[in-house]
Chains A and B, each alone.
Chain A
Amino acid sequence: MTWLPEQARGATPFARVFDLCPELHADWAAFADLFSTQRPVDPALLDLCRVRIAQILGGDGGDVGAGVAALGTESIAALEDWQLWSHGALDQATKEVARLRNARVTWVPVLQQRALRRRPAGRVDRGVGGAN
């Protein structure tokens, strides 16, 4: 529930707030849509990252995109697991992204990216690169 005293019409709480600036919302949607239409990276991998960010920020990840939904709830639940590296539900590329948590740089892409050191960065690079 938003704390803003006004809301626009919209299908979701996010849309009801963002549609207070409808042109901005439309432009954002067009930009976000590029990631699903042009598919520069596996959409499921991207959505897992988005869900992970939501988890770190204290949310539940909200709507799960079709790509992640296809992976199943087990992969999403696995993101909460401290022992991600040994979790069988995640593929190698996803583990490389999620493994940052085990390296005590959990918030690297979200809050403390200056802490990203060469070694985990290299693993992420290899993992994501290997997914393409």
Chain B
Amino acid sequence: MRFAGARQDGLTEELVARIDDRYASSGLSDRHKAVIRYADVFLADPTQLGDALRAEMLRHFTPAQIVEPSAGLALFMGFSKIAIVLGQEPDAMATTILPTPTRPA
């Protein structure tokens, strides 16, 4: 699943294909690598966020820009878990582009 807003802002399948366990040596930008590293720590063990990654994040993002993906990660992680723990995760699914959620009018 991809959000349409991300697509419009340049998220390509070629970019997505670089996001696996070898992303650190991929052609992703340093900014992308930093936020993926941050996502990994956020998901696996947030107590292990070290000085090096903190400094790396601050090199690429303002404090407010760090709060935004932090909230996004919490949202995506939590709601992904709903899909898995309640058995809603499909066995297979073609890449699907969905409208980016918007605030109700």
Binding site for B on A (CB under 8 A): 3-6, 17-18, 20-21, 24, 27-28, 57-58, 108-109, 111, 113-114, 116, 121
Contacts and interface: CB of A to CB of B under 8 A. Distances in A.
A3 B64 CA distance: 13
A3 B63 CA distance: 9
Contacts of B66: 4
30 contacts: A3-B49, A3-B54, A4-B58, A4-B63, A4-B66, A4-B67, A5-B58, A5-B63, A6-B62, A6-B64, A17-B67, A18-B67, A20-B64, A20-B67, A21-B67, A24-B67, A24-B68, A24-B71, A27-B103, A28-B71, A57-B46, A58-B47, A108-B85, A109-B81, A109-B85, A111-B44, A113-B81, A113-B84, A114-B84, A116-B85
A120 to B, nearest CB: 11
Contacts of A58: 47
A20 B63 contact: yes
A27 B103 CA distance: 9
A4 B64 CA distance: 9
A119 B93 CA distance: 27
Nearest to B85: A113
Contacts of A109: 81, 85
Contacts of B81: 109, 113
Nearest to A2: B63
Given A6-B63, A21-B67, 8 more contacts: A17-B67, A24-B68, A27-B103, A57-B46, A57-B47, A109-B81, A113-B81, A113-B85
A124 B68 CA distance: 33
